[in-house]
Structure 1
Amino acid sequence: MTGRTPSVRVLLVEDDQRVARVNRDLLERDPEVHVVGSAATCAQGDALAQALNPDLILLDVHLPDGSGLGLLRHWRSVGRTTDVALITAADDEASVRLALAHGAFDYLIKPFTGARLADLLARHRARRLPPAPGPALPRLDQGSLDRLLGVQGRGVEPLPRGVDPHTLERVAQALGGAGEGVSAEDVGERLGLSRVTAWRYLEHLVRSGRATLEHQYGHSGRPAKLYTARPGPADPER
């Protein structure tokens, strides 16, 4: 397994070219985000969505040839399940409710901060499903479904400050793929993280019941801390 952050291919649908350039610059501060197309109308947005098949579409509401909400409704009616987030000056409750009802996973009201846009990208990444082998559709356990829905289950504590959900899942996947106890240094090397950062995320997995910690005593020095993924309810017993 590689620890590389998954790339995100973004389509912008925004009629104000100045705003589109600013949004592109903000997005591409992340080296793994690539704006693959920019449209100024509903018609252009629909054509580019079909041609480019982006991972994420950032969509305005007020467009010269119609409403972005109507375009979103059209995409869902024809089975396009691409993640769509509204970035718009439309701040009325009716627009927000319609966007969410038609399957938008996020809604940013202009002007917004770079941090809020970065949060949108992190949530998109956390929602992404691993590719299914062959023609089979991926099957979900409840944890994967909750991440897709962007919700936390009852009794699950919110993530502490400084714990990024995407990085947490990368660490959890690295731990699950190891097959045996690994150290924070091992995980850090696999994912390109510092030992201290990897240790912090591993300790959170232990506290949340998703991993176990074992102290391995050697002939010299302090005992090594080895972390192992804890099988979930749907996992086979080890």
Structure 2
Amino acid sequence: MSARVRVLLVEDDLRVARVNRDLLERDPDVHVVGSAATCAQGDALAQALAPDLILLDVHLPDGSGLGLLRHWRTQGRTTDVALITAADDEFSVRTALAHGAFDYLIKPFTGARLAELVARHRARHTPTTPTAAPRLDQASLDRLLGISASTAEALPRGIDPHTLERVYLSLVDMGRPTSAEEIGDRVALSRVTAWRYLEHLVRVGRAQLDHQYGLAGRPAKLYRASGGQVSGGQAAEPGES
């Protein structure tokens, strides 16, 4: 089951804010709790509503969203903030990231990319165990930072990093052992393609493989998200799933 996400929009174009709200709330577990058109309104609503995620524009009538982000960080506010803006210059991007923005979308963007942003926010706040320890291992820290486990490795031919992350986040959202067919349906991939991505996740330690016995024919192969160590092993043929 997906975690509920309470979102604050800080966007001065009312039409854009309405479109973004509609895109976000296609996910029934996302709720836009407020919308601000200025830095002052955004600051007030961030304090009053305590959202889980803030989507922030750069160019606002009374100042810069980058200045507002810097203000929040100096005040100790650690809420996840992502920039959604037409500001495509390197200075704005670097400044946003330096002040702790975990993502940056340049307008115009696709609904799928916005959904990916929300999925990354969820993954950053998904505990590895029901009672998470106060200390972090590297895998947990990378997830908190929004870093894909595949970033530091050379991906096999035919494995796209963005699709790989979508498959992994879908596996996390399912919260139970899941078949390649189910994952394929969730991320619009064929069963065999989903199988290939899931087997790669098993090889690098981000997923575990279970077998469901007791049915006619070969045992079903089910996958679940894992925070385990990197492991080797070869994938079985697609016909075995």
Q: TM-score, normalised by structure 2?
A: 0.72
Question: Which deviates further from its counterpart, 113-122 or 145-154?
Answer: 145-154
SS of the aligned residue for 1:49 comes to helix
Aligned-pair CA distance for 1:125: 1.5
State the AA in 2 paired with 1:36.
V
User: In 2, are the aligned partners of 1:11 and 1:37 still within 8 Å (CA)?
Assistant: yes
What is residue 176 of structure 2 aligned with on the other side? Answer: 174
1:224 aligns with 2:222: no
Preserved contact between residue 85 and residue 107 of structure 1 (Cα < 8 Å) = yes
CA distance in 1, matches of 2:212, 2:21: 47
Residue number among 165, 168, 187 corresponding to 1:165 in the alignment: 168
* CA distance in 2 between partners of 1:133 and 1:170 (Å): 15
One-letter code aligned to 1:165: Y
Which of 191, 202, 219 is matched with 1:206 structurally? Answer: 202
Provide the secondary structure at the position in 2 that maps to 1:174: coil
Deviation at 1:207, TM superposition (A): 3.4
**CA-CA distance at 1:156 after TM superposition:** 6.8
One-letter identity of the residue aligned with 1:24: R
Report the Cα offset of residue 212 of structure 1: 4.5
Residue matched to 1:73: 70
Q: Which amino acid aligns with 2:37?
A: A
1:128 matched to which residue of 2?
125
What is aligned with 1:178? Answer: none
Q: Which runs of 5+ in 1 are unaligned?
A: 176-182, 234-238
Task: Give ranges in structure 2 of 5+ residues lacking alignment.
Answer: 230-241
Superposition deviation, residue 224 in structure 1: 2.7
8 Å CA contact 2:139, 2:227 repeated in 1: no
Secondary structure (helix, strand or coil) at the match of 1:164 reads helix
- Contact 1:206 1:213 survives alignment (8 Å): no
Q: In structure 1, what is the equivalent of residue 148 of structure 2? A: 152
Query: Partners in 2 of 1:42 and 1:159 — Cα distance?
Result: 35
Bigger drift between 145-154 and 199-208 goes to 199-208
**TM superposition outliers: structure 1 runs of 4+ over 2 Å:** 129-134, 136-141, 152-165, 168-171, 199-216, 220-233
* Shift, 1:222, TM fit: 2.2
Q: TM-score, normalised by structure 1?
A: 0.73
Q: What are the Cα deviations for residues 159-206 of structure 1, in whole angstroms up to 9, with x where unaligned?
A: 5847533222245x535xxxxxxx859xx7xxx9xxx79x94764543
Q: Which range is displaced more, 95-104 or 112-121? A: 112-121
Q: Secondary structure at the match of 1:46?
A: helix
Equivalent residues in 2 for 1:30-49 (5 A)?
A: 30-49=27-46
Give distance in 2, aligned partners of 1:40 and 1:11: 11
Instruction: Report the CA distance shift for 1:141/1:170 in structure 2 as closer, same or farther (over 3 A).
Output: farther
CA deviation after TM superposition for structure 1 residue 34, in Å? 0.7
What code does the residue aligned with 1:125 have?
R
Note the C-alpha offset of 1:94. 1.0
Alpha-carbon distance in structure 2 between the residues aligned to 1:228 and 1:62: 44
Q: Distance in 2 between matches of 1:222 and 1:232?
A: 30
TM superposition shift of 1:208: 3.2
Contact 2:198 2:223 in 1 (8 A): no
**Residue 83 (1) aligns with residue 80 (2):** yes
| 1:20-44 CA-partner distances (Å, limit 9, x unpaired) | 1111111111111110000111111
**Do the aligned residues in 1 keep the contact of 2:179 with 2:223 (CA within 8 Å)?**
no
